């Protein structure tokens, strides 16, 4: 073994009656501050989808998409706070995957972590390819390969140095992104309420024009949830970061609460102001290009020069930030799988700086796959991979909620073993949230993309369960 590496401690069977020491991190270095942890969550959840518009949800529900985003924000807030309670009690490597292992069984920990890892890998690849496209918007002569490799090198370098470097970089990337979003909200609100000397205030008439607030009926709010919920995915990285937080109990409690209300305000307020400024039918027809971004339209209206250039810079930072945060989360979960003997042993190794370099390298697989698909134009395969990623989000959330209910039963039975905050009515909130997630999954009845996601995702889950059965049998436990 190289001198710069050290193996993670040997895995021991999880015992729900013996919660881990909050200082335990499996050899990972605790250096992330509360501010950095919150921004890591925002970096994952605030992706290019919000900055370039949400045409699919608006097309499905019209102005009523605001209701879909509000319901989604409430659902995510509940899951985030409940996950925060568990993570504060168990700030360990593997986060919600390790907790699922502890309270639901080894199979749940295996499925949760591998499913989340695969979805994150797909997202990393798509965000890096998107970043390359944004770079080529300025310099179309740059080969796609060179642009992808340049972005991948930056993201990998930030993650491989040490966790403190990653936290600092992600903090500033997310700060730029959030600042741009705040500027957008202020500019949009000014145009809606006051207007400009040569432009009347739009008010909120656009929310009821062109067929009313619900042009496609109340059912459309439910259908739009199939798109809306995935816009919020990524906040789970905050829980993963608990194993490397300086003060995990305080950090996770603060980060999850701040993340919940910030995501709610950013998404709901942004979508409301966008549709107050621009007729929803025009937004529904947007093709997702930089020129069609709501940011470009709003900044152009307030006289900001080179609005498209400014927006391209923001969405580039957003894509790099999202890829950066997802690579962090994916590598940590893969490292925990190696540590528990549920993945090849080399993935459990840490460098002298406490970085899981092997897991990090393996998690860049999505960059290579996405680049290959971008070159070959194999749209069908790419669609299948994305379907698994979309399904994975809902499955992971359900497993998190199931883990929470088992966790609370144990916590209520053994309160002397736990410190930290407890969410009032947590078990009831978990049931309500689980019903909400299932309701989103049920849109597969109406939405073709969700139907494909459910079919491919269930098959993928069956493969994971079969893989776990083989591992358990080999260990003499099955």
CATH of the domain at 104: 1.20.1740.10
Pairing of strands 5-6, 350-351: antiparallel
Cα distances (Å, whole numbers) of residue 155 to 160, 164, 237, 330, 389: 9, 14, 16, 13, 21
Residue 53 is predicted with a pLDDT of 54
Lowest mean pLDDT among 13-27, 148-162, 259-273, 385-399: 13-27
Q: Return the bridge partners of 5, or none.
A: 351
pLDDT in tens, 53-86: 577 788 889 999 999 999 999 999 899 899 988 9
Lowest mean pLDDT among 59-73, 210-224, 241-255, 427-441: 241-255
pTM of the full predicted structure? 0.85
* pLDDT beyond 70 at 383: no
Residue 52 is predicted with a pLDDT of 62
Cα–Cα distance for residue pair 34/245, rounded to 1 Å: 8
The mean pLDDT value of the chain amounts to 81
Residue 24 is predicted with a pLDDT of 46
- Number of domains the chain is built from: 1
Is there a domain that residue 16 lies in? no
Is there a domain that residue 18 lies in? no
Give the mean pLDDT of 425-443: 94
Expressed in angstroms, the distance from the first to the final Cα of the chain is 32
Cα–Cα distance for residue pair 334/124, rounded to 1 Å: 14
- Contact indicator for 87, 95 with CB cutoff of 8 Å: yes
What band does 351 get if pLDDT is binned at 50, 70 and 90?
confident
- Contact indicator for 4, 140 with CB cutoff of 8 Å: no
Query: How much of the chain exceeds pLDDT 90, in percent?
Result: 20
* pLDDT beyond 50 at 228: yes
What band does 436 get if pLDDT is binned at 50, 70 and 90?
very high
* pLDDT beyond 80 at 345: yes
- Which has more confidence, 478 or 443? 443
What band does 21 get if pLDDT is binned at 50, 70 and 90?
very low
Residue 112 is predicted with a pLDDT of 93
Residue 374 is predicted with a pLDDT of 63
Residue 348 is predicted with a pLDDT of 85
At 199 the three-state DSSP class reads strand
Residue 70 is predicted with a pLDDT of 92
Both tokens assigned to 364: 């860049």
- Write out the E strands in 267-422: 350-351
Cα–Cα distance for residue pair 386/379, rounded to 1 Å: 10
Most confident of 122-131, 362-371, 441-450: 441-450
What band does 20 get if pLDDT is binned at 50, 70 and 90?
very low
Residue 283 is predicted with a pLDDT of 77
Question: Residue 322 belongs to what domain range?
Answer: 24-474
Cα–Cα distance for residue pair 41/245, rounded to 1 Å: 13
Residue 214 is predicted with a pLDDT of 93
Only one residue has tokens 């250096």, namely 31
* pLDDT beyond 90 at 220: yes
Cα distances (Å, whole numbers) of residue 387 to 123, 384, 391: 11, 5, 6
Is there a domain that residue 5 lies in? no
* pLDDT beyond 80 at 470: yes
Is there a domain that residue 470 lies in? yes
- Contact indicator for 76, 235 with CB cutoff of 8 Å: yes
What band does 18 get if pLDDT is binned at 50, 70 and 90?
very low
- Contact indicator for 420, 254 with CB cutoff of 8 Å: no
* pLDDT beyond 80 at 249: no
Residue 382 is predicted with a pLDDT of 55
CA atoms within 13 A on the CB side of 159: 30
Dihedral, CA of residue 128, residue 240, residue 66 and residue 298, to nearest 10: -40
What band does 422 get if pLDDT is binned at 50, 70 and 90?
confident
Lowest mean pLDDT among 41-50, 129-138, 307-316: 41-50
Both tokens assigned to 2: 């190289």
Residue 168 is predicted with a pLDDT of 85
**Residue 463: Cβ within 10 Å count:** 11
Most confident of 21-30, 183-192, 203-212, 402-411: 402-411
Is there a domain that residue 1 lies in? no
* pLDDT beyond 50 at 11: no
Most confident of 3-12, 99-108, 192-201: 99-108
What secondary structure letter does DSSP report for 10?
Answer: P
Is there a domain that residue 13 lies in? no
Give the mean pLDDT of 404-416: 91
What band does 462 get if pLDDT is binned at 50, 70 and 90?
very high
Cα–Cα distance for residue pair 75/67, rounded to 1 Å: 12
Is there a domain that residue 6 lies in? no
Is there a domain that residue 426 lies in? yes
């Amino acid at each position: 073994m190289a001198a710069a590496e050290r193996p993670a401690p040997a895995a021991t069977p999880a015992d729900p009656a013996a919660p881990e020491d909050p200082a335990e991190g499996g050899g990972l270095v605790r250096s992330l501050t509360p501010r950095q942890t919150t921004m890591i969550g925002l970096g994952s959840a605030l992706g290019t989808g919000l900055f370039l518009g949400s045409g699919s949800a608006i097309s499905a529900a019209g102005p009523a998409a605001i209701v879909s985003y509000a319901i989604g924000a409430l659902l995510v807030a509940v899951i985030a706070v409940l996950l925060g309670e568990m993570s504060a009690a168990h700030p360990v490597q593997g986060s919600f995957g390790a907790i699922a292992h502890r309270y639901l069984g080894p199979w749940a920990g295996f499925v949760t972590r591998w499913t989340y890892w695969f979805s994150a890998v797909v997202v990393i690849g798509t965000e890096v390819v998107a970043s390359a496209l944004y770079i080529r918007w300025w310099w179309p002569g740059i080969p796609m390969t060179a642009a992808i490799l340049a972005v991948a090198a930056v993201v990998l370098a930030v993650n491989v140095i040490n966790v403190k470097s990653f936290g600092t970089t992600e903090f500033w990337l997310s700060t730029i992104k959030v600042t741009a979003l705040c500027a957008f909200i202020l500019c949009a609100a000014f145009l809606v309420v006051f207007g400009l000397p040569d432009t009347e205030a739009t008010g909120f008439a656009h929310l009821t024009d062109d067929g009313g607030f619900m042009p496609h009926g109340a059912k459309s709010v439910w259908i739009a949830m199939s798109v809306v919920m995935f816009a919020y995915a990524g906040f789970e990285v905050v829980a993963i970061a608990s194993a490397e937080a300086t003060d995990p109990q305080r950090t996770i409690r603060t980060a999850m609460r701040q993340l919940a209300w910030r995501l709610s305000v950013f998404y709901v307020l942004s979508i409301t102001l966008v549709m107050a400024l621009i007729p929803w039918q025009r937004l529904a027809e947007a093709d997702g290009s930089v020129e069609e971004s709501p940011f470009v339209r709003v900044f152009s209206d307030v006289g900001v020069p080179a609005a498209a250039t400014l927006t391209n810079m923001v969405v580039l930072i957003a894509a790099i930030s999202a890829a950066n945060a997802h690579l962090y989360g994916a590598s940590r979960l893969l490292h925990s799988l190696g540590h528990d003997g549920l993945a090849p042993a080399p993935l459990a190794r840490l460098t002298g700086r406490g970085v899981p370099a092997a897991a990090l390298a393996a998690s860049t697989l999505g960059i290579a796959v996405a680049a290959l698909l971008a070159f070959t134009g194999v749209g069908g395969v790419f669609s299948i991979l994305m379907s698994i990623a979309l399904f994975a989000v809902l499955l992971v959330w359900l497993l998190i909620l199931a883990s929470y209910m088992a966790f609370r039963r144990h916590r209520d039975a053994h309160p002397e073993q736990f410190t930290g905050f407890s969410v009032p009515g947590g078990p009831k909130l978990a049931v309500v949230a689980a019903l909400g997630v299932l309701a989103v999954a049920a849109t597969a009845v109406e939405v073709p993309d969700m139907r494909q996601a459910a079919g491919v995702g269930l098959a993928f889950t069956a493969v994971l369960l079969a893989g776990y059965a083989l591992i358990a049998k080999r260990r003499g436990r099955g």
